[in-house]
Structure 1
Amino acid sequence: MSERNRVTLSDVAAVAGVSLSTASRALNGGGRISQATRARIAEAALRLDFRPNALAQSFALGRSRTIGILAHNARGAFTEPVLVGAVAHLGSREQACLLYDMGRDPDVLAESVRRLQARRVDGLLVLGDGLHARLRSLTGEFSVPVVYAHGLTDRPDDACYVPDSEMAGRLAGEHLLSLGRRHIAHITAGEHDTAATGRERGLLAVLAEAGLSAAADTLRGDWSRASGAAVCRRLLASGVRFDAVFCGNDQIALGVESVLLEAGRRVPDDVALVGVDNWETVISGQGTRHLTTVDTGLAGLGAAAGAQVADGRDDPGVHAHPCTLVVGATTSDGPAPPSPV
């Protein structure tokens, strides 16, 4: 439709038989207007395929209809799905997004904050790069709602959306127990990482409820495949009896698997493996299914955080976003074989 033929608000008002101001208030959700009149105006707008001017709406409502997004590493493997989920949700609500990416340079933070303040955004979504370090709270520097996703801040009352790490550990433990595995080892990252400690707590809680304990004390390294391999060699050398390993993430699991196969241990016949992150599908996009893993739902987490900032809700505290188990070839649904001595 050309600009000359574009339907205007005056056209809607004329068809609905109301004043221009009444039509404007009704379509913007304001004013004391009867339900019947509001419905008549909405029906006229729909019939005429009226498309309101976003800029004019912004002026009328005194809002920019723009959400600022400040990412600590927008291109990060785990940040990107959160960003995509948030932007998709905000777009579905006709909210524009203004993205500033700090990369990995904290010196960019102050300038990004000043620019976002100057743009008078209606809300701010801060995307962290994981749970290994606390984010500096920016809530006090804005008069609009500020919500954090995939990160925890140094202020306890901030609204922070993070994966439910304990649920991830519980799902893994419950799955392995359901397969008859009773000697479950755990290999993960350092004890100062909130994600690692949460997943560990979930696993140990499930084992305790079953009257069991882990096959060995938690074995720690970092999040890499090389670390998983190195720690698995230590586990094998210890002579500990185990028939399953819950790995803190998928990279660790792949390193563990490589060492088990080198040692002649069959996966999953001798040792079942579960990781976390759903790397094959969510991160790499391969769409294959080799590892049994826990998907932390990063896109959904981003959407949930985006919904709160768009709604302007005051919903402080940590919001643990649910995870799901994705079964692959590294576990089996048959009875567990005798554990290796």
Structure 2
Amino acid sequence: MADSVITLSDVAAAAGVSLSTASKALNGTDRISEATREHVRVTADRLGFRHNALARSFARGRSQTIGVLTHRASNPFTRVVLATAATELGAKEQAILLYDARIDEHDVTESILQLRARRIDGVIVIGTGTSYPTPSLTSRFDVPVIYAFTFTEDPDDVTITAYDNEIGRLALGHLLSKGRRKIAHITAEPRDNAAQRRAAGAQEVLADAGLEWASPVRFGRWREGWGADAAAELLAEVPDVDAIFCGSDQIARGVERVVRASGRDVPGDVALIGVDNWEQLMHDQRVSRHLTTIDVGLEEIGRQVAAQLLEPGTQPGIQYVAPQVVTAETT
């Protein structure tokens, strides 16, 4: 026979308080003593009581549901932010309602209408990266909206995202710490915001060290093939280059393949560093590290987005998550 369901009345009786007091203690409403509140909570835990989420949402005037808009939920970067935010929200007994579509006018209008009809308590908009802006949707909701792993063109939007300038600074600082001085940079197209900011951050550190790029920055695509093509050109032009900062781990894979094929040792002759921590994204933490990379902080973005969405008085503007160097075999 199935176990009987413990009700709020059972908790009140076991705690020796009224039904009203038990409800106030567990819902965090009205003023009751902290001792009574804790006594009721301990009793509820001992009995295995679980709130009726629907009833509690009516009592609080909230749905305990967060709407999530993604551009492409299957994107590896989006998945990490989404999974971490969902886990954090779940721990706070918040459900998520996901709408995955192109964030263009037609698709997003339909998603917004459906979310507004669901009486949500807030909205998270998750991008696929910091290359190009996401349209600002804040004015189309009457609940808090927070943007994750993207940026908008509205300076008042609450945004938590990767710190591309610092990513560039960290990468160059790491290569310099390994004694490298003839450093080159291969990255994505010049109009790409992430590529530009990473290159700018790296340039700052290089200039502070009194150095210049061993060869002009090579802009292309976030692709392994582009990394291979650019590396071949670079080695022909600067045979004694001793380090390459790759704008992404995918670019780095192509670069490494060509560097090794030329007979050079990695990292003995040429040190390599990428960006994205792709090996962990696509595998898991048990996989042995090969490529030195910069972790852009996707999990931390997810954690901060979940925490701040539920907090009153979140400050407008962009908040950057600190990246970290993940040292491995290529430096």
TM bucket, shorter chain: over 0.9
Aligned to 1:314: 314
1:210-289 maps to which residues of 2 (within 5 A)? 210-239=209-238, 241-285=240-284, 287-289=287-289
**SS class of match (1:68):** strand
TM-score between the two structures when normalised by the length of structure 2: 0.94
Q: What is the rounded CA distance, in whole Å, between the counterparts of 1:308 and 1:224 in structure 2?
A: 34
Letter in structure 1 aligned against 2:59: A
Aligned to 2:294: 294
Aligned to 2:187: 188
**Partner deviation per Cα, 1:203-232 (whole Å, 9 max, x = no partner):** 222222322222222111111011111212
1:203 aligns with 2:202: yes
Going from structure 1 to structure 2, the CA distance change for 1:219 and 1:169 (only over 3 Å counts) comes to same
**SS class of match (2:274):** strand
Letter in structure 2 aligned against 1:326: V
Aligned to 1:81: 80
Q: What is the rounded CA distance, in whole Å, between the counterparts of 2:132 and 2:325 in structure 1?
A: 26
1:37-52 maps to which residues of 2 (within 5 A)? 37-52=36-51
Greater alpha carbon shift after TM alignment, 208-217 vs 73-82: 208-217
Q: What is the rounded CA distance, in whole Å, between the counterparts of 1:166 and 1:92 in structure 2?
A: 33
Aligned to 1:123: 122
**Partner deviation per Cα, 1:157-196 (whole Å, 9 max, x = no partner):** 1111111212222221121111111111111112222211
TM-score between the two structures when normalised by the length of structure 1: 0.91
Q: What is the rounded CA distance, in whole Å, between the counterparts of 1:278 and 1:175 in structure 2?
A: 15
**Contact 1:215/1:241 (8 A) holds in 2:** no
Greater alpha carbon shift after TM alignment, 223-232 vs 7-16: 7-16
**Partner deviation per Cα, 1:122-159 (whole Å, 9 max, x = no partner):** 00001112222211111111111100111111211111
**SS class of match (1:126):** strand
Going from structure 1 to structure 2, the CA distance change for 1:296 and 1:191 (only over 3 Å counts) comes to same
**Contact 2:215/2:238 (8 A) holds in 1:** no
CA RMSD of aligned residues (A): 1.9
Q: What is the rounded CA distance, in whole Å, between the counterparts of 2:183 and 2:59 in structure 1?
A: 61
1:21 aligns with 2:20: yes
**Partner deviation per Cα, 1:47-96 (whole Å, 9 max, x = no partner):** 22221111111111111000011111101122111111111111111110
**Contact 1:67/1:310 (8 A) holds in 2:** no
Q: What is the rounded CA distance, in whole Å, between the counterparts of 1:9 and 1:313 in structure 2?
A: 33
Going from structure 1 to structure 2, the CA distance change for 1:106 and 1:262 (only over 3 Å counts) comes to farther
**What is the percent sequence identity of the aligned residues?**
50
1:101 aligns with 2:119: no
Q: What is the rounded CA distance, in whole Å, between the counterparts of 1:328 and 1:43 in structure 2?
A: 47
**Partner deviation per Cα, 1:282-309 (whole Å, 9 max, x = no partner):** 1344823221111112122112112211
Aligned to 1:139: 138
Aligned to 1:153: 152
**Contact 1:165/1:202 (8 A) holds in 2:** yes
Instruction: Give the C-alpha shift of residue 238 in structure 1.
Output: 2.3
Q: What is the rounded CA distance, in whole Å, between the counterparts of 1:293 and 1:199 in structure 2?
A: 13
Task: Number of aligned residue pairs: give it.
Answer: 330
**Contact 2:214/2:238 (8 A) holds in 1:** no
Gapped regions of structure 2 (runs ≥ 5): none
